[in-house]
Structure 1
Amino acid sequence: MEGDWRMKIETYPDFDMLTLNVAQRIAGDLNAALLHQDRALLAVPGGTTPGPIFDDLCAADIEWSRVDIILTDERWVPGDHPRSNTKLLKERLLVNRAAEASLLPLHVATETPEEGLPKLIPGLEARLPISVAVLGMGADMHTASLFPDSAELTSALAQDAPVLIPVRPASQPEARVTLAAHVLNGALHKHIVFKGKDKRDALDAALHLPAQKAPIRAVLDGATVHYSES
């Protein structure tokens, strides 16, 4: 760890223990937020890693009717598409007690994200800041849809960026939208979750690189990193 960062790394013996602990931490953070404000905003990733966390979190004793949930990023596909992260949320997080939460959409029925963002941004801006952000990280050091090979990365890293950014990374088959780096970094609580030695090595490398090459750098300050090797 470099400089004055307050990043904390917590290592777990296995992913099952990580999953349970992270779900408990998120629940605690949300309950704490609801003590001081009318509503809380939870931002979560898609992909395979967070699914087990959602399975535990959805049963947590939280006043879910006061919680808004948003994805950190989304592919520009309909919500019932097999590659939609929204589909994952509806199947594994917005169930059980958490069925009472409100989902803020990151897709509308337009051909391109540029056409749809004016319909999405005002509703999101009204609910910021994020109370709790859960983030993943790829071996290429991306987080959300802040990819190193994205031509839009510089714009997405800017402090004055719009809250939602359309991106078309060369490594990805679809256009996407992502929360801007400053929106993610401004979360009151940040939990970064990953497993595998390759990703731990990537995090160590990211500490010595600028955010333009290692986008995860843009959200590390004050974050808790949860890691298991397997």
Structure 2
Amino acid sequence: MNLIEYADREMLMMSLANKIAGQLGDVLRQKGRASLSVPGGTTPGPVFDMLSATTLDWANVAVFLNDERWVNEDSPRSNTRLLRQRLLQSNAAAAQLVPLYAPTDAPEESMVALSDGITPHLPISVLLLGMGADMHTASLFPGADRLAEALADDAPNLLPMRADGAGEPRITLTAPVLKGAQHIHILITGADKRDALERAAKLPVTEAPVRCVLDDATIHWAE
């Protein structure tokens, strides 16, 4: 594994934000447009804050989540809500938000439309992932109802996902989309996540879904 250890979380967040900004800038200069896919949750919040103030051609950056809970944006559980509050601010307010949620009762009803929205922005230029203590990433949970389908080489770009540890139904990018990103970063903090990462490296991908990207990712960790 390509693991970078940092002296503290502040240094981790600053370094990671700078790395992501640099990689996005490189892709923008080469191709004129770029895509950034990010996780929900509070851990990457400081990275989002720093990125939002970065001078980039944000108008040509498409931003979308790795996964989303199937809840309205006014819910405190909404990853899209957090994204608007922390990343799509300041300079980054000019970025294009590509939705991973639509107001239908179930994710299956919106899968085609949401997938069609993501497809033009693939492969992902820069991918930032998190990891749970259960070794899930995005909404690829161990034991999830469609995990095998999401891990398959011929998986569609997006799939609905339900799992005991997931709470609400989810929608998630699948393993081929994650693995196909140009630059892959995984952000983890704390001893429990470090232990989980080391366990994941020794387990089959069905038990530790984060393994689907470990060989290609840079892992950023601080206590």
Query: Smaller-chain TM-score range?
Result: over 0.9
| Aligned match for 1:47, one of 20, 26, 41 | 41
1:204 and 2:204 correspond: no
1:121-148 Cα distance to aligned partner (Å, 9 max, x none):
1121111000000000111111010000
Compute the displacement of 1:99 (Å): 0.4
Answer yes or no: is the 8 Å Cα contact 1:149–1:171 preserved in 2: no
Q: Aligned Cα RMSD in Å? A: 0.8
Compute the displacement of 1:165 (Å): 0.7
Q: Which residue of 2 aligns with 1:38?
A: 32
Compute the displacement of 1:149 (Å): 2.3
1:81 and 2:79 correspond: no
1:52-107 Cα distance to aligned partner (Å, 9 max, x none):
11011101111101100000000011122110000001001000100000000001
Distance 1:92 1:56 in 2: 9
1:112-151 matches, cutoff 5 A: 112-151=106-145
| Aligned match for 2:93, one of 85, 89, 99 | 99
Answer yes or no: is the 8 Å Cα contact 1:77–1:83 preserved in 2: yes
Distance 1:186 1:32 in 2: 18
Question: Given residue 135 of structure 1, which amino acid in structure 2 is its aligned partner?
Answer: L
Q: Which residue of 2 aligns with 1:158?
A: 152
3-state DSSP class of the match of 1:202?
A: helix
Q: How many residues align?
A: 223
1:18 and 2:24 correspond: no
Distance 1:35 1:63 in 2: 9
Compute the displacement of 1:48 (Å): 1.0
Question: Given residue 146 of structure 1, which amino acid in structure 2 is its aligned partner?
Answer: L
Answer yes or no: is the 8 Å Cα contact 2:36–2:61 preserved in 1: yes
Of the structure 1 ranges 16-25 and 74-83, higher mean CA displacement relative to structure 2 is found in 74-83
Q: Which residue of 2 aligns with 1:4?
A: none
| Aligned match for 1:173, one of 167, 170, 175 | 167
1:223 and 2:220 correspond: no
The normalised TM-score by structure 1 is 0.95
| Aligned match for 1:186, one of 155, 177, 180 | 180
Q: Which residue of 2 aligns with 1:71?
A: 65
Runs of 5+ in structure 2 lacking a partner?
Answer: none
Taking only the aligned residue pairs, the percentage that are identical comes to 53
Compute the displacement of 1:38 (Å): 2.3
3-state DSSP class of the match of 1:225?
A: strand
Distance 1:158 1:186 in 2: 13
Distance 1:56 1:22 in 2: 10
Question: Given residue 48 of structure 1, which amino acid in structure 2 is its aligned partner?
Answer: T
Question: Given residue 45 of structure 2, which amino acid in structure 1 is its aligned partner?
Answer: G
3-state DSSP class of the match of 1:34?
A: helix
Answer yes or no: is the 8 Å Cα contact 2:189–2:222 preserved in 1: yes
The normalised TM-score by structure 2 is 0.98
Compute the displacement of 1:185 (Å): 1.0
1:32-52 Cα distance to aligned partner (Å, 9 max, x none):
111111210100000010111
3-state DSSP class of the match of 1:159?
A: coil
Distance 1:97 1:36 in 2: 21
3-state DSSP class of the match of 2:12?
A: helix
